Structure formats: C-alpha cells, structure tokens
C-alpha cells in the first residue's frame, strides 16, 4: 500500500491572530508581525469594519477580517467556528483588544463598566482558551495588560482591576504552557501617547479630569518591539520600557496605601 509523501500531506496554515487590530497597539503588532515573520495568513479582529479592511489592504500577508464586538458571546463562536473549519497552526496570538474609562464608581454607568470587564477579561480569556488547542511548540501568546495591574487606582478602578486579572491569568498560563514550548507573556506598558487609548478613556460618560496628566508616555512601536523581545526570551511578564519597569519594581516594595496616596496626588496635578 502506498503512503502519501511529505509533499502531498497538507500542512496547516501558519497564522497570527490579533484582536484590537483596527488601531493603536493592536495595529502596530499587526504591522510588526507582517514585516518580521513568514506567516501564511493573519486574522484581524476588532469592532470597526472599515478600519480593518483598510488595514488589510496595506498588508503584505494574506488576511482574514473579523469585524466583531468581542464582548458579544456570538463573536467568540464566530472565531471558534473559523478555527474548527481551518484547523490552522497558531504561531502568534496577540490579545490587544481592551479599553478603559476614567472616573470613580459614581461617574461611569454600570453598562459601560460591564462592557469593560467583558472585553478586558472575559473576551481575552475566551479567545485564549479557544486558540490554545491550535498552538504547539514555538507558538507565542501575548496578553496586553498594563502597569495599572500592579496596584489599585482610584479614578481608574475597574480598568486597573480588569488588568490585574489579565496579568494574573498570564502569569499562571505562562507556567502551564512553559513545558510545552509555548511562550505566554503578559505585557504591561505605561501610558502610550501615540494611540487613541488616552482620548478614549476621557470620552463619553467618563470624567475627563479624573487623570489630568500622562507624563513620560511611551510609543506603540517601542512597546511592540520590546514586548516581542521579552516574549521571545520567555518572560512571563513584560514591562516594555524604563518607566514601566520602575513602576513594577516600585509596586513590589511600596505598600499599596502609600502608592495609592501618591497616585491620588499625581493624578490631580
């Protein structure tokens, strides 16, 4: 009986999946991956359909566009069904979808707080869970968190708490998948000044003066480049810059009560 040769056995596509791909940090990861890695396809997920297609038109790598609100349970089903159909090899998963709103408990409506938690926590976890079966040795997963995850932040309370979930989940998953040769990193940047994130946090029902200054911010390109390197060398948590690294160290040694008092003063300057 003849056995098929290696040439006739269909190999799974090597793909990257990026959520929050329509702008900001997610878009920067997309560009970096397309420039640096020989992917067969890149899957782009975000809410804004027009931006996703505009981005896809500029890429050198074939893409698949998923215009989805990841807070919707049906969005996870769409991605799951696409994975079942394609049976790809996921070389990279980057969960960059997320948002924050400034203000105290009384400033932001419950519906928006719920949406923040659904996108920042549940969607991130769900997408990771449905993608892991399609990863293998050499796969890399980056979960975009924040230095806000290192301490409670009055005036940014739910966002900081949601990112604490991302950081904790990433730390644990890093060890669960380490022996399988799959690298998982929680990425904790400081303020990124050249994305829409800061303006989004101040928009709509948010209280824009809850945080008045965003000093010493970094850029999306620096975050992407540094976090990809730190993921490559196998770090469970990436602080992709000097300020974020100092922030992380300070959060380890300074009691929360003192750190919160300092934050309360700084955000009012």
Given a cut of 90, whether residue 259 has pLDDT beyond it is no
Sheet of strand 89-95, all strands in order from the earlier edge strand to the far edge: 63-67, 41-46, 14-19, 89-95, 140-144, 183-187, 237-238
Given a cut of 80, whether residue 269 has pLDDT beyond it is no
pLDDT band at 197 (very low <50, low <70, confident <90, very high): confident
Mean pLDDT across 56-66: 95
Residues 231, 183: contact at Cβ < 8 Å?
yes
Domains and CATH numbers, the chain: 14-266 (3.40.50.720)
Q: What is the pLDDT of residue 8?
A: 54
Taking phi first (over 0 means left), then psi (-120 to 50 degrees means alpha), and beta for anything else, what does residue 241 get? left
- pLDDT tens digits for 83-97? 999 999 999 999 999
Of residues 13, 142, 144, 31, the one with CA closest to residue 90: 13
Other C-beta atoms closer than 10 Å to the C-beta of 1 total 2
Given a cut of 90, whether residue 120 has pLDDT beyond it is yes
For the chain, what is the total number of helices (H) and then of strands (E)? 10, 7
Given a cut of 50, whether residue 235 has pLDDT beyond it is yes
Residues 25, 223: contact at Cβ < 8 Å?
yes
What is the maximal distance between C-alpha atoms in the chain?
Answer: 78
For residue 142, the SS3 value is strand
Q: What is the mean pLDDT of the chain?
A: 91
- E strand or H helix at 95, and its extent? strand 89-95
Given a cut of 80, whether residue 2 has pLDDT beyond it is no
Mean pLDDT across 243-247: 94
């Amino acid at each position: 009986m003849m056995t098929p040769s290696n040439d006739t056995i269909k190999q799974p596509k090597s793909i990257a999946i990026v959520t929050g791909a329509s702008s900001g940090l997610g878009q920067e990861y997309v560009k970096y991956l397309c420039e640096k890695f020989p992917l067969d396809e890149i899957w782009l997920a975000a809410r804004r359909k027009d931006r996703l297609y505009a981005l896809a038109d500029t890429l050198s790598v074939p893409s698949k566009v998923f215009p989805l609100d990841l807070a919707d349970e049906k969005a996870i089903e769409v991605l799951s069904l696409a994975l079942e159909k394609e049976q790809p090899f996921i070389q990279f998963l980057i969960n960059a979808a997320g948002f924050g709103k400034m203000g105290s408990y009384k400033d932001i409506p419950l519906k928006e707080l719920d949406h923040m938690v659904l996108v920042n926590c549940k969607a991130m976890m769900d997408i990771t869970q449905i993608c892991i079966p399609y990863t293998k040795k050499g796969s890399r997963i980056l979960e975009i968190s924040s230095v806000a995850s290192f301490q409670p932040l009055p005036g940014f309370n739910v966002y900081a708490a949601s990112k604490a979930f991302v950081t904790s989940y990433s730390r644990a998953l890093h060890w669960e998948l380490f022996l399988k040769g799959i690298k998982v990193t929680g990425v904790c940047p400081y303020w990124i000044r050249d994305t829409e994130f800061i303006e989004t946090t101040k928009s709509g029902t948010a209280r824009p003066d809850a945080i008045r200054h965003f000093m010493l911010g970094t850029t999306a390109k620096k975050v992407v480049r540094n976090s990809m390197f730190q993921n490559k060398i196998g770090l469970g948590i990436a602080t992709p810059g000097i300020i974020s690294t100092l922030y992380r160290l300070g959060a380890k040694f300074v009691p929360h009560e003192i750190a919160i008092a300092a934050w309360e003063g700084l955000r009012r300057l």
